[in-house]
Amino acid sequence: MWKNSLDVLDVHCQGEIGKVIVGGAPAIPGRTLLEQMNHINTVDDSLRRFVTFEPRAHVAMSMNLLVPPKHPEADAGFIVLQADRAHPMSGSNCICVVTALLETGRVKMHEPETIVKIDTPAGLITARATCRDGRCVSVSLDNVPCFVEAQDQVIRTPQWGMVVADIAFGGVFYALVDSKQVGLDIVPENARALAEAGITLKALISKQVSVSHPDIPALNDVAYVMFRQQEANGVIRTCTTLKPGRVDRSPCGTGSSANLAVAHARGEIKVGDKRISRSIIGGEFTAEAIGETLVGNRRAVLPRITGQAWIYGREELRLDDHDPFPRGFALSDSWGSQVGELG
């Protein structure tokens, strides 16, 4: 046991790694989780870099920081740490966090169902965990209200001409793009090409599209590009792309929520309807419209995302003053051509 260390649970959700820091992290300044996230992004990113860069991490993972909740109804709070920045919400990571909280006893488990309320920078999330024999066999997330910012937004690109995207909020803002527009099917062998296309599109979108959440003005950028592809029986194949150049291994909860908002706005689904989101490696989430509301003057849907996570280990990360790489490093051989943008 070391004097300065982080206690980490190894968790994945449908193949997407979402480790959870359960002990040893420093206190993050801020009156709200949004202020704490912004502190990480604008003032001190040392913890984020330490846990998301090599040699302690690799590109295809997130690290979730447990923090004391600020919301009076919440059982716990968390902030998503990724290689590019801290993010306000992630469905797969939230499922990892709820599973970790319950299976380690940090929140008391009740069978057959435990309700856990999670504070995030994007708002309060209600999770319903189906529990059996001391394990979470599924977690359903009642996500924040999700809405469409712009339908059929035209993006000018030098590589693919005019690309049409739906811009929607699912906990963060997404650009939702049919994959055929970039000439790619959502299959494992296209993962690198999809990742690079998504990062290229994100850079172009950031220059051409402005977004701002009506109630949370600090949420004001398109965080991800999600490619989508219609399959049989209403299934949507999804592929969310993330900096510095990789794809989400899970079906992506917030992206599936954003996609549900688009379908709702187009009249393709109504309250009570469900859709299956299937990832590039075949994992599945169920996305259900459980209600309607307004966000500002925007018609919004209330999504419920259901999936499963697994704890596969635990680790202790040592904070050593003599470590030559306290801020970590990333190389383009594994992190992709966008590695230079990470700073």
Residues with active-site annotation: 90, 252
Parallel/antiparallel/unpaired status of strands 5-13 and 309-318:
antiparallel
Distance in angstroms (rounded) separating the CA atoms of residues 273 and 270: 6
Q: Give the CA distances from residue 183 to residues 159, 186, 294, in Å, rounded to whole numbers and listed in that order.
A: 11, 10, 36
Handedness of CA 64, 31, 68, 218 (dihedral sign): negative
- What DSSP letter does each residue of 287-329 carry, written as one string? EEEEEEEEETTEEEEEEEEEE-EEEEEEEEEE--TT-S-TT-B
Distance in angstroms (rounded) separating the CA atoms of residues 57 and 291: 39
The DSSP output letter for 133 is T
The DSSP output letter for 135 is E
Q: Give the CA distances from residue 196 to residues 80, 178, 337, in Å, rounded to whole numbers and listed in that order.
A: 22, 15, 8
Helix, strand or coil for residue 75? coil
- Two tokens, residue 331: 């190389």
Which single residue is written with the structure tokens 């449908």? 14
Cα(first)–Cα(last) distance of the chain, in Å?
32
Task: Report the run of H or E that residue 261 belongs to, with start and end.
Answer: helix 253-265
Which single residue is written with the structure tokens 């307004």? 294
Residues 84, 153, 236: CA angle, nearest 5 degrees: 70
The answer to whether the beta carbons of residues 289 and 271 sit under 8 Å apart is: yes
Helix, strand or coil for residue 52? helix
